[in-house]
Amino acid sequence: QVTAKTAFLFILPQYNVSVPTADGELVQYHYGLKDLVTILFYIFIAIILHAVVQEYALDKINRRLHLSKVKHSKFNESGQLVAFHLTSVIWCLYVVVTEGYISNPRSLWENYPHVYLPYQVKFFYLCQLAYWLHALPELYFQKVRKEEIPRQLRCITLYLLHIAGAYLLNLTRLGLILLLLQYLAEFFFHMARLVYFTDENNEKLFNVWAVVFVVTRLFTLTLYILVIGFGLPRVESQALDPERGNFFSFLFNNILFRMSVLLLVCLFQASVMWRFIHFQLRRWREYWNEQSSRKRAAAAAGTKQQTKLLKRDSGYHENGVVKAENGTSPRTKKLKSP
């Protein structure tokens, strides 16, 4: 029985409490230091699943495609992230629908702080933290190139800050919607890269990703304005109370602070859109350069073919002697005397 309790500490979320409701009691959860043990266990699970996807799916595809080292590394990265993002989008969508966060947008800020979490919400956050923490040792296991390490570290750090911040500051409902939008755009991007590596002439999914990316950015910005600008300032409990999990809602009563936060959010989203626009312009420039080079090559090939045809029609010179199309001399052949 002692062993079972220790096993539950690793496998199941901790800090469950019974919260009274109109229909009776409801078991919910809050966070604590024991969550680190659960996260550690699921880090090892994530490493195992990562190895399974790599060995039984990505490596077999790589052997058929014969990609270069650079493309091989990017293919593996996108393959892993497609599997993760697809799973996370389906799971996250199920959570926000069953918990009613989409049908009732007011629930994103009503009754803040959201200290007590349903089981599926807490388990989702623990698994998300475990996955992005497992990505750190995977940089070594996958032998990622040194040039790619800073970019991947920056990406992992941003995800960890977002997920851990939403979890610790009791903004889990808002964090779920933002993760759903982000993962949806990332899924289409990495799916487009996989298709591009298999067929470099197929870039249609990049166009789909571009549309999804712009739409999700607009929804993200709207959600920030709705929650930070209008939702949190109307929360009943505005006093600083760390024991109850209320860390900063009182700050949103100050219009200067609220506008400063919204300005920072808008600037960050603008920088993301600028990088996106720069990426699209570079891709279109490369596409048109490739098309123009193909046209020039086709024109040169046509001119060369036309020159060959003209030479065949009029004969050509070889060693100062004009020869006909069949390679024989046009001079009349002398007949031997009988």
pLDDT for residue 247: 62
Q: What is the pLDDT of residue 278?
A: 86
Q: Give yes or no for a contact between 115 and 170, defined as CB atoms under 8 angstroms apart.
A: yes
What is the per-residue DSSP string for 67-122? --HHHHHHHHHHHHHHHHHHHHHHHHHHHHHHTTTTT-GGGGTTT-S--SB-HHHH
Nearest residue to 16 via CA among 7, 6, 27? 27
Residue 144, pLDDT score: 84
- Closest of 129, 183, 121, 186 to residue 161, by C-alpha: 129
The pLDDT value given to residue 118: 93
CA 310, distance to chain mean position in Å, is 56
Per-residue pLDDT at 84: 96
CB count within 10 Å of CB 95 equals 19
Residues 6+ apart with CB under 8 A from 120: 95, 98, 99
Q: List the pLDDT tens digit at each of the 338 positions of the chain.
A: 667 778 888 888 888 888 777 777 788 998 989 999 999 999 999 999 999 999 999 988 888 888 888 888 889 999 999 999 999 999 999 999 999 998 888 888 888 878 889 999 999 999 999 999 999 999 888 888 888 899 999 999 999 999 999 998 888 999 999 999 999 999 999 999 999 888 877 778 888 999 999 999 999 999 988 888 788 777 766 566 666 666 666 566 667 777 887 888 888 888 888 888 888 888 788 778 877 887 887 777 777 777 666 655 555 444 545 455 444 554 554 444 44
Q: What is the pLDDT of residue 219?
A: 93
Nearest in space to 194 (alpha carbons), one of 81, 297, 277: 81
The two tokens of residue 195 are 């298709």
